Amino acid sequence: MILGLKFFRVNLIKGTITSIGRMIIQLFLVGVYLEYIFKFNNWTVNFTYIFIMVLVASISTVDIVKLNCKKFTFPLFGSIFLS
């Protein structure tokens, strides 16, 4: 991927490398965290984790697309949670 960006002279190499590094660190930390959640195996902890993840996903989505946070977060949260 980075070679393709360099070949086509796209000025996104630094951002791409930073994003890949962040992705690796985040996936590692989530993997460690999920290992402890699965060992604990409590439905309230699992439900709370899912609730927080859906809430963060809906807030991030509304923020990225620059929509009104108060107007769209709850409907988006509901649609992600139900799916």
Residues 22 and 9 in one domain: yes
Q: What is the DSSP string of 20-67?
A: HHHHHHHHHHHHHHHHHHHHH--HHHHHHHHHHHHHHHHHHHHHHTT-
The pLDDT value recorded for residue 49 is 85
The pLDDT value recorded for residue 21 is 92
The pLDDT value recorded for residue 12 is 78
Residues 55 and 81 in one domain: yes
The pLDDT value recorded for residue 33 is 83
The pLDDT value recorded for residue 41 is 83
Low-confidence ranges of the chain (pLDDT < 70): 1
Q: Which string of b and e fits 31-65 if b means at least 16 CB within 10 Å?
A: eeeeeeeeeeeeeeeeeeeeeeebeeebeeebeee
Q: How far is CA 56 from the centre of its chain?
A: 8
Residues 36 and 67 in one domain: no
What residue numbers bound the domain in which 52 lies? Answer: 43-83
The pLDDT value recorded for residue 17 is 86
The pLDDT value recorded for residue 51 is 92
Structure tokens at 31: 């993997």
What is the C-alpha to C-alpha distance for residues 18 and 61, in angstroms, rounded to an integer?
Answer: 21
Q: Are 16 and 6 in contact (CB under 8 A)?
A: no
Residues 58 and 69 in one domain: yes
| Domains held by the chain: number | 2
Residues 36 and 54 in one domain: no
